[in-house]
């Protein structure tokens, strides 16, 4: 289907509804309206980013339909606190967004949030949440226990991208549960 093996987390049961039975602290983190990178940095722990992959791909079918293009950029990163993987992020950018917003194609180990949350014409869709059953396998992280994730579409100067973030088990060490 695609040029690259990617975790098909877009196939989850995403919903704008608040999940029942979720701890309030998790809900607070999942519904964070600002930069998740900035929130992680505010924990006072050593923040770093591991660029897992960034490459041109054939977009998943639902994004091809939404964006009227077949190609785009896949960016996968892991955000770490004190060298512990806390967030796995997968971003999709259609080719026309990459062309219009060239800095997005050359971020390397710079967090996406450092760029998009400084843009004056930034808008964000509703945050959707999903529960991932035990057994999901992510690049560089192996098979994982049950996880929560969120996704939303960002629009910068009329150009859209999708960001999906999964909250990894080590995050519990750095937030109050």
Region of 119 on the Ramachandran plot (φ > 0 left; ψ -120 to 50 alpha; else beta): beta
DSSP string across 62-82: HHHHHHT-SEEEEEEEEEEET
Angle at 76 between CA 173 and CA 151, to 5 degrees: 70
Of 2, 113, 10, 115, nearest to 55 (Cα)? 2
Binding residues for substrate are 75, 112, 165
Both tokens of 83, joined, read 């060298």
Torsion angle defined by CA atoms of residues 166, 170, 171 and 176, in that order, rounded to the nearest 10 degrees: 140
Contacts with 92 (C-beta within 8 Å, 6 or more apart), sequence order: 59, 60, 63, 72, 73, 74, 75, 161, 162
Q: Write the burial class of residue 11 (CB in 10 Å: 0-12 exposed, 13-18 middle, 19+ buried).
A: exposed
The single residue listed with the structure tokens 């937030």 is 175
């Amino acid at each position: 289907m695609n040029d690259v093996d990617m975790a098909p987390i877009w196939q989850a049961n995403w919903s704008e509804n608040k999940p029942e039975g979720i701890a309030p602290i998790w809900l607070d983190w999942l519904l964070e309206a600002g930069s998740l990178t900035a929130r992680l940095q505010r924990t006072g722990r050593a923040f770093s980013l591991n660029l897992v992959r960034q490459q041109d791909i054939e977009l998943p079918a639902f994004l091809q339909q939404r964006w009227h293009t077949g190609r785009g950029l896949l960016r996968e990163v892991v955000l770490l606190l004190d060298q512990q993987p806390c967030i796995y992020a997968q971003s999709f950018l259609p080719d026309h967004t990459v062309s219009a917003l060239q800095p997005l194609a050359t971020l390397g180990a710079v967090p996406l949030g450092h760029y998009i949350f400084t843009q004056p014409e930034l808008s964000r869709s509703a945050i959707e949440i999903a529960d991932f059953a035990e057994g999901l396998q992510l690049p560089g992280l192996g098979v994982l226990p049950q996880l929560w994730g969120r996704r939303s579409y960002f629009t910068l100067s009329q150009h859209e991208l999708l960001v999906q973030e999964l909250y990894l088990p080590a995050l519990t060490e750095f937030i109050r549960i």
